[in-house]
Amino acid sequence: MNIDALPAHVGQAVIAIEDRRYYKHMGVDLEGLTRAVMQNFQKGRVVQGGSTLTQQLAKNLFLTNERTLRRKLQEVAMALWLESKFSKKQILALYLSRVYFGASAWGVEAASERYFDKPARELTLGESALLAGLLKAPSRMNPANEDTAAKARALVVLNAMVEEGYITPAQRDEAARQRLPINRRNPAGNLGYFRDWIDPQLNRIIGDQRDDFVIETTLDLEAQRAGESSLNAALDEQGEVMGVSQGALLSLDAQGGVRAMVGGRGYVDSQFNRTTQARRQPGSSFKYFIYMTAMERPNFSPWSVRVDQPIVIGDWAPGNYEDEYNGAVTLTQAFAKSMNMVAIEVANEVGHDNIIETARRLGVRTRLYNYRSLALGAQELPMIEMAQAYGAMASGGFRVEPHGVARVSRASGNVIWTWRPTNAERVVEDRTLRSMNYLMSRVVEAGTGTRARIAGRQIGGKTGTGNDYRDAWFVGFTSGITTAVWVGNDNYQMTKKVTGGSLPARIWHDYMVVALRDAPPTPLAMPRPEDYQVEPTPEEVSAAATAAAAASGAPLVPVAGSPDENPQGPTLDGPEG
């Protein structure tokens, strides 16, 4: 950083409160250290630190936060080395560019933008004092949350500056009278969710190395902002009336790189990441796995016919949305309109164990049980696993791996780590991919997901609604981007009949318009002549349905092999998806 471009009072405020003898020592202040030891001994606790600015810089640059005598001796040695290599002005500049001011702001430039929405060269005396005061406890005194403690500390800094002769009492009083409006809006938006998610990986990559690193992520900042604004705009407008207080959005590229991660309505209010940590009922969006399993079999196609009719299995009587039944339908119609009874019938035909294996192959790691209600998506799953599984469609049938870090380099340009897929195997064969594209595009064109339509784009997706309308989803893909949206309530309170085709589909649409801004429309691979079956006539549908109903009692047979005493498992009685 160019310290000459900063007002003098920026550095003076830091020196006055953190290291008054900065210009009198050579990196280690024996007088200040002795005074600190005596003060701490008298109080019986640590009330004063003994580290100089140079020692703090040495720790930030080269050392860990380990509190041992060995680490302290290393800090002293490195501080002496810094003083021998750099001028006081250079050391102060290095310190100001790296020290932490709270609220994810590293360095005075970032802190000035974060708290005052201005460059550091425009900082006033009062603002400089407030920033310097944060260094003692940046998280506890974060003025974006509550500024009383920070402003009281700023007055302590101003008094110290008077004592050191940097300012006059009159200047102190004038600065103390000035209003210090704090910018409470985080310019980085909700990036805290993404940062928290990638931090463990960065720790594994970088470890204890001490250097300046350049972290290249997969995030698209414009898409991230669009995800946040789309979610909040929809919930600000309709959340209260629809009984919805929370939501989340996760968007992946064709390799699984996270383009946007909105873990909730606001990171400051809640650090719980609903894209990775929450487990919610996917509802009918789970039918993706059922129909995928079916389309992999030669005796199934989008034009296969089944009967949409009430089913009773023992004491379990699931139903369709609004208890409406459609009789003989093609699987395309059943999937587009999210008919539960047909999904149960198909699931029993292909086998629940095979459906679970399909989900596992596509990326679902959460354990799934062979409950009767498996077909209705009653078992809770995290959003990141749903997005990964759907991502195989956007990638052309290949497994995707969600990741947020693309490359890590040293400031010198030396690349130390690059993301590479570990298991990029084909998980969806071409014929199956084409059939599923057709099924899923009909959801958006003429089914439950029409609110997700984007002019000039061919989109595939599926809606999902959880038990008692507690969860609503839309997961869709186009042009190599897969995005999942969920809305609901953290306390599992019922919404006012919010379905996946309502708020989630709207949020998905509004986000994707921005996310796809530079992506040319890409058609989905559709069934070829060898896949195609002529659309059956009503008479053929009726005849096939009669034959199927007479020949197959599968929907009426309880599922065997459930792992506990409740073969039904969690229930889901019939929202459309």
Distance CA(408)–CA(421), nearest Å, equals: 16
How many domains would you assign to the chain? 2
418 and 532 in a common domain: yes
Helix, coil or strand: residue 476: strand
Which of 118, 149, 177 represents a domain boundary (last residue)? 177
Q: Residue 539 above 80 pLDDT?
A: no
Q: Rounded to the nearest 10 degrees, what angle do helices 287-295 and 352-362 cross at?
A: 100
Q: Confirm whether 127 is a catalytic residue.
A: no
DSSP β-bridge partners for residue 475: 462, 484
Q: At what angle do helices 148-163 and 125-134 cross, to 10 degrees?
A: 110
- Cα gap 111→227, rounded to integer Å: 25
Question: What residue type is assigned to position 89 of the chain?
Answer: K
Residues 52 and 138 in one domain: yes
Q: How many Cβ atoms sit within 10 Å of the Cβ of residue 456?
A: 7
Please write the tens of the pLDDT for every residue from 335-345. Answer: 999 999 999 99
CB 206 within 8 A of CB 483: no
| Residue 141 to residue 560: CA distance in whole angstroms | 59
Task: Work out the average pLDDT over 132-150.
Answer: 86
Catalytic residue among 284, 285, 301, 502: 284
DSSP category for residue 398: B
Task: Please name the helix (run of DSSP H) or strand (run of DSSP E) that holds residue 325, with its range, or none.
Answer: none
Range of the domain at 520: 222-556
What pLDDT is recorded for position 383? 98
Whether residue 249 contacts residue 231, with contact meaning beta carbons closer than 8 Å, is answered with yes
Higher-pLDDT residue of 543, 423: 423
**Quick check: is 45 in a domain?**
yes
Dig out the tokens for 186 from the structure.
Answer: 């985080």
564: pLDDT strictly greater than 50: no
The residue among 118, 144, 177 that closes a domain is 177
Outline where DSSP puts E strands in 366-489.
405-410, 415-418, 460-465, 471-478, 481-488
Q: What is the mean pLDDT of residues 482-510?
A: 97
At residue 567, the pLDDT reads 40
- pLDDT tens string 455-495: 999 999 999 999 999 999 999 999 999 999 999 999 999 99
Opening angle at CA 552, ends 547 and 553, nearest 5: 135
Same domain, residue pair 162 and 229: no
User: 144, 161, 177: which is the final residue of a domain?
Assistant: 177
| Residue 577, amino acid | G
- Report residue 516's pLDDT band, with 50, 70 and 90 as the boundaries: very high
Q: Is 42 a residue whose pLDDT tops 70?
A: no
Residues 287 and 413 in one domain: yes
Can you tell me the distance from the alpha carbon of 87 to that of 17, in angstroms, rounded to the nearest whole number? Answer: 20
What pLDDT band is residue 574 in, cutting at 50, 70 and 90? very low
Strand order in the sheet with 415-418: 213-217, 405-410, 415-418
pLDDT value at residue 535: 55
Q: What whole-number distance in Å separates Cα of residue 78 and Cα of residue 522?
A: 57
In a domain, 385, yes or no: yes
* Residue 565 placed within a domain: no
Opening angle at CA 260, ends 221 and 198, nearest 5: 95
Together in a domain, 400 and 546: yes
pLDDT score at 313:
80
How far is CA 79 from each of CA 86, 167, 219, 530, rounded to the nearest angstrom? 11, 29, 37, 74
Q: What is the mean pLDDT of the chain?
A: 88
Q: For residue 77, what pLDDT band results from cuts at 50, 70 and 90?
A: very high
Tokens of 543: 């005849």
pLDDT of residue 402: 97
Domain annotation covers residue 213: no
Say if 288 falls within a structural domain: yes
260/168 same-domain check = no
Closest CA to 96 of 120, 119, 62: 120
Give pLDDT tens digits for 417-427.
999 988 789 99
Residue type, 72: K
In a domain, 217, yes or no: no
How many CB atoms are located within 10 Å of the residue 570 CB?
Answer: 17
Strands (DSSP E) contained in 428-575 are: 460-465, 471-478, 481-488
Provide the pLDDT for residue 577.
Answer: 59
Distance of alpha carbon 284 from alpha carbon 560, whole angstroms: 22
418 and 284 housed in the same domain: yes
* pLDDT tens, residue by residue, 398-410: 999 999 999 998 8
State the amino acid at position 353 in one-letter form. D
* Residue 403, SS3 per DSSP: strand
Predicted local confidence at residue 189, as pLDDT: 60
In a domain? residue 571: no
- Kindly state whether residues 297 and 429 are assigned to the same domain: yes
Same domain, 58 and 159: yes
Amino acid at 11: G
Residue 395 is part of a domain; what is its CATH number?
A: 3.40.710.10
Which range, of 42-56, 306-320, 554-568, averages the lowest pLDDT? 554-568
Q: What is the pLDDT of residues 249-288, one digit of tens each?
A: 999 999 999 999 999 998 878 889 999 999 999 999 999 9
**CATH number, residue 59:** 1.10.3810.10
**Are both 340 and 431 inside the same structural domain?**
yes
Q: Regarding beta strands 258-262 and 246-252, do their DSSP bridges make them parallel or antiparallel, or are they unpaired?
A: antiparallel
Q: What is the pLDDT of residues 82-122, one digit of tens each?
A: 999 999 999 999 999 988 888 778 899 989 988 998 889 99
What sections of 296-382 are H helices per DSSP? 331-336, 340-350, 352-362
In degrees and rounded to multiples of 5, residue 232 shows phi and psi of -70, -35
- Assess whether 18 carries a catalytic annotation: yes
Tokens of 414: 């030396």
**Gap between the Cα atoms of 406 and 217, Å rounded:** 5
Instruction: Answer yes or no: pTM beyond 0.75.
Output: no
Where residue 243 falls (left for φ over 0; alpha for ψ -120 to 50; beta otherwise) is left
Q: Which helix (H) or strand (E) element contains residue 327? A: strand 327-330
First to last CA, the chain: 54
391 and 502 share one domain: yes
Residue 552 has what pLDDT?
Answer: 47
- Beta strands per DSSP E along 174-288: 213-217, 246-252, 258-262
In this structure, the answer to whether residues 472 and 538 fall within a common structural domain is yes
User: Is there a domain that residue 573 lies in?
Assistant: no
What's the rounded Cα separation, in Å, for the pair 320 and 119? 58
How many other C-beta atoms can be found within 10 angstroms of the C-beta atom of residue 1? 16
